[in-house]
Each structure stands twice: as C-alpha cells, then as structure tokens.
Structure 1
C-alpha cells in the first residue's frame, strides 16, 4: 500500500534511495541538498516521498515562495498596466505559490522507482504534495516545467487532478554526435562558421582556471551574478553565494567551476555539472566587459571541447539566449507549467488568462530573444 509523506529536509532520505527513484540523475540528492543548504532568500523547501511499506518508491522536491504572476506576461503594455495596478494594490496577481519541482532545475523531477506503477505513484505524490502545500499556506499550486519528454502518465495524472497548463520556456541541448570542434563547425551555416572563427580569436587574450572553491573571489562572483541577473528577462530565484559553494563542496566529482580572466580581472564564472553522458551548463556569470572578448562563445566552445575530451554525448544548455543557441545548432525541448488555485473560481479564472502568460515559442520570437 502506498503512503505519502512530507519531509522538511532531504537529509531524512538516504542519498541512494532518493537517486534510485530518478535513475541516478545528474541533479540528484547532493544537488538538491546543496540548494537546501544555500537557504535561498524567499524560498522554503520541502520534499514529497511515497513509500510502499518501508521502501521509497516515489519522490520529488517542492518549494514555497511569494510569486508575481505579472513576471510571466510577455505583452509589454499589459505588463506595464499590471505593474501600475500593483502600485495601488500591492497584492494584485501576487500569490503564495507552492510548486512541485525546484527553482534551480529546468525540469520537474518526479521520481518513480517502479515504472509499471507510474500513474499510481505520481497520483500519490501529487495528492501528498497538495495536502502539504495547503497546510503550509500555499494557494496557487504548480508543477514547474514538465518536460515534453516526461512519461505520458505524468501529464495524464496531473490533468486528471484538475490542473491547467501553460507553455513554458523550452530547454536546449546540443547533441555531441561529432568527433571534433572542426566537425561541429562544419555543421553550422557559412556565416555562423566565419563569425565563430573570428570570435574565438579572443581566446588568446584570456586565461582560464578551474577551481573547487570560490571563497577567494566571493565579492567579485556576486558582482558578476548581479550583473547577469540585471540582464535577465525574468527569473524566479535569486541565488546566494552559498549556493555556488554548496554545489562545489557537495558535488566534488560532478561540479566544475571555470573562471575566465583578462589579466588579473575576473570576467566570467561558469558553473557546470557532469556525469558519464551529459554536461550541464548551470550558470554563466559575466561582466559587461566580457562581451568585448566574446566570452559567451569562447566558453561555449570550451564546453564542447570538454564534452569531446570526456566522451560526453549531450551538452545541456539552459533556458535563455535562444537566438545564439539556435545559431549554434541546439535542439529545443518543450516544457509546460501545470497549475491550479486552492479557490476553484480563481482556478477557473487563471485558466482563462493562461494564454497571456504562456511563452511565445514562435521561431521569430526565439530568434529575436
């Protein structure tokens, strides 16, 4: 018989048991414990576990935060109008959000150790999550970033429990099915190929260093993060320095932190995770001066070279900068956000405005992003 439980710390679940539910994921127990340890401002984390007697058969991370629905509206004029209303009514379109997933992962993680019982385990996960979320004051319930590649039973169960869906930002990845950077370049358009070769000449002006701790550079790292955050169109989480240090200390065999210098000036920080198959570009922090050295593209080709060196077949590249990434040959993987409100009438209303907060995934929008 399945039993759902809510846990306030991931330390209550043995790492091997948690990771077994996800097939030993790249963003596994150690990564989520690092997020918890970092104590991100404005977030409360909890965990949903499903047991069959004493055996863990299902698991998922979850969080609570105050959420501004206006941040997801692409329409500029509508967004401004809503901000004006919020100046008069501070609580307008701001709700206590409880979400299944993590603010620091691209896809929701619903761990199921027995695929033959997926629907039943996910159903128990969701019902347990809803009870725990409501007990903690969550009013808007969400499943964050359900990948189009997720098992079909996930979406079916979510829909059966009355959730609506909005289109989310796609994730992107580059398949490493070539044997050299020259072979990769040959796949790009002639114009892009010429542009990349020109940009990569900036590499000779830069020094690259891999580190296992950022303590010596803490003020500069956070200044780079603030610069990067200010350029972002939208963001859910605001990271702390402890996030970066926790990831590096708790994932010593999977985390890489690469620093880019011009002379003695730190211009960029690239936090990467890897396993035996995938390189995941978690965060790229760059000073505005880094553009003069084409650092985004230099780091991209350094990461492609790292994949080739280690035999990794997949380079996972995030949910932003689509125009550049499409030029560089990535594939896009769609995501959806599932939602419902504790108040049935408001839940119905949110379904009506869902098209306004869905991401614009037209080729023109992504290439101009």
Structure 2
C-alpha cells in the first residue's frame, strides 16, 4: 500500500506495524491509517528553560506522572510524515478520528503533517492542508512541529558544495574531515549474510542504544526484533554505511533510496571513539557524496539536531501537530503555554 506523505518504502512501515517501539501499541484505523499509543511525556518537546522551571516546582516527583498521559498518535515513529490515505476525505477522516479515539484518550496527536513540503507532491500537500483545517474545526490545537533537514543535490562536486560556506567554515570542515583518513568505510545492504549472525545483531543494536541513551529526547525505543528484521530483509533494500577504526566497529548509518532520494534513518555509534573521530560529521559528507554519485535529487537527514544540520548546509521543511485535549481546563492551559513547545524554528532561523 502506498500512503499519502510516504517517503519510506513499504517494508519499513510494515516492520513498524509488526515490531512496534517498546511499550507502544500499534494498529491501523478502519481506513488503513497507522496509529499508535503509549505513555507520552508532555515535556518531551518543551524548551530547556521551561522544562527546568516545571521540574523545580514543589513536589514535582510526586505529580510528574500527570504529565505522562497515555496518548494516541496518528502517524508512525519511522516515517518522516503522518501516513494518510485517499480512501477517505480529509473532513471525514478528521471526524472519524475524533469520534473513534478522542473520548478514549486524554491526549490525541495527529503528528507531523507537512506544510508545503518540497519533498512531496502537490496532491499530498493539498490533502494535509485540508486535514489541518478539518482538525482545527473539530477543536484540535495547532502546534508547530519539528524541522526536517534535507539537502538538494544541486552541486557538481563537493568542492562546489563547500564553496557555499564561509572561509572559516570551510577550514573547519576540512580540519574535521581529516578524521576520514583514519576510518575504513564500507557499504553493506540489508539481507547480507553477516546480519544473520547473532553477535553482529547484538553489536548493531547496542550501537543504536548508545545513541539513544545519550540523546536529550527519549520518545520511541525501537526493539531488537525491529532491527533484526530490518537488517535481514532484502526487500527493505537498506543501504548500511559502516565505519571501522583500527579494526574496531565504531559506527553505522542505515539509509534508504526512495523516489530518487537518499533517506537517512538510523545511526549507531561507539563513544567516545565516534566523537574523537568526528564520526557524525564525516558520515554526513559520506552520505552527501554517495547521493551525488548515484544521481539522487535529495538527501533527507531527519528531525534531530537541527542546529548542527543547519551548520552543515541543510535546508528545513516544517510540520504541524494537531492536538486534541479531552480536559477543557487543561486545553486552556496548554494553549497559553504552547509557544514553549515550538522551538525548532528558532534553532534554524
């Protein structure tokens, strides 16, 4: 099935439905739209100062569970955007979602609806605009979403790409890229024989956990079963860039080719080696070079670390979250403080 707003292959979506993140429940709506539920920390996307002030309120540890309600999400955690279907009119979908789930869940979030995304068709963008308007009519609160980083492959070679930065930035890039000389870089594919070895599976999952555990945002914890299925699936057609230093496996990127775009999805690293060798930085340019060599139109670099990606030359396209809050008093409070949960645009301004 091909969804509206889909920038991933079907195998990745099916993998999410079969092996949902830890403690999440996943299902399809009556019209085939992916939905999941789980406990959600309402401070997940709050800016640091606001989060600090909340956590310093009296008896926070006793009532913080009130800020972690079981929440229903329309969307997935493996797709860049909410996955929708043209089997139902946008107005009908908005009414159906409210009727089916709004009374059951204190919070309901239709997440990652695109805003005139250059990565999607006009038909996809049009449907999302219609759905945003219809959800607002149903009483949903509109929130600024995250910044999706992308780079158009509109340069002839990497020298042309570097020329777009200031002299000091170029000098800094070239200094960090010297780490590449110390790395052995290879390209594997999902379904390769090595991924049927349990030791290899354990290593890949542990490197993913390393990155997850040091991240500031903890939302979805993908399971080991999800990773094993992904790594072993030839149909998933994942491109896996691996990095070794002195024979030690210190990192990887899992990417996909979709609609002539290189979509960067998952990263795993060993610390402190990855930091010492500027692996995040090096992998960015390895991915760009590969996208250029293969004649791809875009490199899509995901939602996290927008400030860092902006410094590396990324452009950004934004989304909207539409939130339904069952409690009318809490709805008023959230509306008042909603600006504290919309920080990505400021980070890349």
Q: TM-score, normalised by structure 2?
A: 0.86
1:206-245 matched pairs, under 5 angstroms:
206-211=183-188, 212=190, 214=195, 215-245=198-228
Counterpart CA distance in 1 for 2:66 and 2:73 is 20
- Cα distance 1:134–1:253, how it changes in 2: closer, same or farther (>3 A)? closer
State the partner residue of 2:66.
Answer: 92
**Residue 82 of structure 1: CA displacement?**
3.3
Matched, 1:139 2:141: no
- Cα distance 1:153–1:348, how it changes in 2: closer, same or farther (>3 A)? same
State the partner residue of 2:258.
Answer: 275
Counterpart CA distance in 2 for 1:147 and 1:345 is 29
Whether the aligned pair in 1 keeps the contact of 2:150 and 2:314 (CA below 8 Å) is: yes
State the partner residue of 2:119.
Answer: none
**Residue 91 of structure 1: CA displacement?**
2.6
Whether the aligned pair in 2 keeps the contact of 1:100 and 1:108 (CA below 8 Å) is: yes
**Residue 360 of structure 1: CA displacement?**
5.0
- Cα distance 1:229–1:279, how it changes in 2: closer, same or farther (>3 A)? same
Counterpart CA distance in 2 for 1:73 and 1:326 is 20
Q: Secondary structure at the match of 1:303?
A: helix
Question: What per-residue deviation string (whole Å, max 9, x for no partner) do you get for residues 278-309 of structure 1?
Answer: 11111222222112212112211111111112
State the partner residue of 2:37.
Answer: 64
- Cα distance 1:74–1:90, how it changes in 2: closer, same or farther (>3 A)? closer
Q: Secondary structure at the match of 1:334?
A: strand
Question: What per-residue deviation string (whole Å, max 9, x for no partner) do you get for residues 202-261 of structure 1?
Answer: 222111233335444233323322221232121310112222222334463531122111
Matched, 1:107 2:64: no
Whether the aligned pair in 1 keeps the contact of 2:207 and 2:269 (CA below 8 Å) is: yes
Q: Secondary structure at the match of 2:293?
A: helix
Counterpart CA distance in 1 for 2:100 and 2:11 is 23
| Greater RCO (Cα-Cα under 8 Å, separation 6 or more) | 2
Matched, 1:161 2:161: no
Match for residue 150 of structure 2 among 150, 165, 173: 173
State the partner residue of 2:300.
Answer: 316
Counterpart CA distance in 1 for 2:270 and 2:183 is 14
Matched, 1:186 2:163: yes
State the partner residue of 1:5.
Answer: none
- Cα distance 1:78–1:258, how it changes in 2: closer, same or farther (>3 A)? closer
Match for residue 11 of structure 2 among 7, 27, 30: 30
State the partner residue of 1:361.
Answer: 345
Question: What per-residue deviation string (whole Å, max 9, x for no partner) do you get for residues 123-147 of structure 1?
Answer: 2223333344357x42201111222
**Residue 83 of structure 1: CA displacement?**
6.7
State the partner residue of 2:21.
Answer: 40
Counterpart CA distance in 1 for 2:309 and 2:161 is 14
Question: What per-residue deviation string (whole Å, max 9, x for no partner) do you get for residues 161-212 of structure 1?
Answer: 1111122221110000112122212222222222222222222211123333
Matched, 1:124 2:108: no
- Cα distance 1:252–1:264, how it changes in 2: closer, same or farther (>3 A)? farther
**Residue 153 of structure 1: CA displacement?**
1.3
State the partner residue of 1:54.
Answer: none
Question: What per-residue deviation string (whole Å, max 9, x for no partner) do you get for residues 312-339 of structure 1?
Answer: 0100011122233212221111122110
Number of residue equivalences: 331
Counterpart CA distance in 1 for 2:329 and 2:52 is 23
Whether the aligned pair in 2 keeps the contact of 1:75 and 1:356 (CA below 8 Å) is: no
Q: Secondary structure at the match of 1:46?
A: strand
- Cα distance 1:22–1:81, how it changes in 2: closer, same or farther (>3 A)? closer
Counterpart CA distance in 1 for 2:73 and 2:331 is 15
Q: TM-score, normalised by structure 1?
A: 0.82
Gaps of 5+ in 2: 117-124
